[in-house]
């Protein structure tokens, strides 16, 4: 489903509701919303999501939790992507985890790599657990 924001820098719960109207809830176990915008604006609005994930890529830098605290405060899980390029960037994984914990000590952090598959099983396991908990 493609939702149109009408030029706004974010999705909100009403847009999500409208997008889901055509779906039969009995046929859906999981809906993934990809919000639009930057690391500031989307975190300020409720999309209606039960859980929030955030993707931080290694090339973006390990300091993003310090620069954009709200985004990390509202996340349930942070995926650190492109870990295969760690040797080529000044990215300190331990520092990044520390910065995330400063903003949100309950956020799960999962380093992932689409190229090698590293971390993907942990990510999908986390998703399955969340769906199962929601359905209970």
What is the reported pLDDT for 61?
97
Query: Domains of the chain, with CATH numbers?
Result: 1-49 (no CATH), 50-136 (3.40.50.300)
110 within 8 A of 122, measured Cβ to Cβ: yes
pLDDT, the chain, mean: 87
pTM: 0.84
Nearest alpha-carbon partner for 122 in 135, 104, 109: 109
What is the reported pLDDT for 62?
98
What is the rounded distance in angstroms from the CA atom of residue 23 to the CA atom of residue 134?
18
5 within 8 A of 34, measured Cβ to Cβ: no
Q: What is the pLDDT of residues 16-47, one digit of tens each?
A: 777 778 788 788 887 777 776 666 666 667 77
Task: Write out residues in the chain with pLDDT < 70, as ranges.
Answer: 1-10, 36-44, 48
């Amino acid at each position: 489903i493609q939702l149109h924001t009408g030029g706004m820098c974010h999705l909100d719960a009403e847009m999500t509701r409208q997008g889901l109207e055509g779906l039969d809830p009995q046929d859906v176990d999981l809906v993934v919303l990809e919000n639009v915008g930057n690391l500031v604006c989307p975190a300020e609005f409720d999309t209606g999501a039960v859980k929030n994930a955030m993707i931080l890529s290694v090339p973006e830098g390990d300091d993003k939790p310090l620069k954009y605290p709200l985004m990390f405060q509202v996340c349930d899980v942070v995926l650190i992507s492109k870990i295969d390029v760690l040797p080529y960037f000044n990215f300190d994984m331990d520092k990044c985890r520390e910065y995330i914990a400063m903003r949100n000590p309950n956020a799960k952090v999962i380093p992932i790599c689409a190229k090698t598959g590293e971390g993907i099983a942990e990510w999908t396991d986390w998703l399955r657990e969340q769906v199962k908990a929601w359905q209970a």
